[in-house]
């Protein structure tokens, strides 16, 4: 299991479009991907779940990947949020 904590820099936060892009890219990996805001963790492959985090600009989130391609998943997903 590999994790990375990031600060959301997107001016709109994790709204529909960035959440959709994140979920779409996350779905390409075999690893389980979760995103946490410190209070709750959600499935990183679900647009709706990501939007329910309510991650605003400046929020810190943690992306966790667990599986055979976890390092590659984090490398591909982190730039979408920063």
Which member of 4, 15, 25, 32 is catalytic?
15
- Domain ranges within the chain, ordered by starting residue: 2-80
Supply the DSSP string of 30-78, one letter for each residue. Answer: SSEEEEE-SS-EEETT-HHHHHHT---TT-EEEEEEESTTHHHHHHHHG
- What dotted CATH number matches 2-80? 3.30.1340.10
Residue 21 bears catalytic tag = no
- pLDDT tens, position by position, 3-41: 999 999 888 888 899 999 999 999 999 999 999 998 999
**Would you state the structure tokens that stand for residue 33, as one six-digit string?**
């991907």
* pTM recorded for the entire structure: 0.92
Among residues of the chain, what percentage have pLDDT more than 70? 100
- pLDDT tens, position by position, 29-82: 999 999 999 899 999 999 999 999 989 999 999 999 999 999 999 999 999 888
């Amino acid at each position: 299991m590999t994790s990375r904590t990031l600060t959301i820099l997107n001016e709109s936060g994790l709204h529909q479009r960035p959440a959709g892009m994140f979920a779409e890219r996350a779905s390409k990996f075999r690893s389980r991907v979760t995103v946490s805001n410190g209070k709750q963790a959600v499935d990183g492959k679900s647009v709706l779940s990501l939007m329910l985090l309510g991650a605003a600009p400046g929020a810190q989130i943690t992306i966790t990947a667990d599986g055979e391609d976890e390092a590659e998943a984090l490398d591909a997903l982190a730039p979408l949020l920063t």
